[in-house]
Homo-oligomer: A and B are copies of this chain.
C-alpha cells in the first residue's frame, strides 16, 4: 500500500438545532454555504483531488460534501452511517482497509461532525481521543497514514485549520 493522505472536513455552519424538527435534516445557512464553498475553492486551488469522499448522511454534511464535489475536488460523494454522530470508528477502519486496497486510492476525504472527527484524528495520531483538537465548522484536518500496518497511533498530522486561516 501507499501512504494515504486523509482529509477530515467538518460540515459548514448550519441553522440552530430545533428540538421539534429532525436534526438530520438541518441544512447549511446561506452564510455557511458561502464559507464552505470558499473553503472548497481554496482546497481546489491547492491542487487537491480526492480519490474518494465519504460523507455523513446528515443534510448539513451531504451539502458540505456536495460543495466539495462541485468545486472539482472529487468525482462523487458516498454517504455512510459510520460518519453520522455516534458513528462507528472500528467500522470505518474496516471500510478504510478495503478502500486502500484499490489501485489509485491514495487521497481520501471524510465529511462529518464534531466531536467525532477530532477524536478520530487523535486516535490515528496519538492512540487515544482527548478532545484537544479544535476543528471549527468547514475546518480541515490533514493526516498521513503509514503505508503498512495499522494507522492507529501511527499517523502524522500535517494540517489543522479553520476557514479563517485557509481563506484570505
Contacts and interface: CB of A to CB of B under 8 A. Distances in A.
A161 B168 CA distance: 14
Contact of A162 (B45, B153, B158, B168): B158
Q: What secondary structure prevails in chain A residues at the interface with B?
A: mixed
A155 to B, nearest CB: 7
Nearest to A139: B158
A93 interface: no
Contact of A160 (B45, B46, B157): B157
Question: So how many copies of this chain end up in the complex?
Answer: 2
Q: How large is the interface on A (under 10, 10 to 19, 20 to 34, 35 or more residues)?
A: 20 to 34
Contacts of A133: 156-158
Q: Which of A45, A122, A160, A168 has the most CB of B within 10 A?
A: A160
Contacts of A1: none
Q: Which of A144, A156, A158 has the most CB of B within 10 A?
A: A158
A148 interface: no
Contact of A46 (B134, B155, B157, B165): B165
Nearest to A141: B160
A160 B118 CA distance: 14
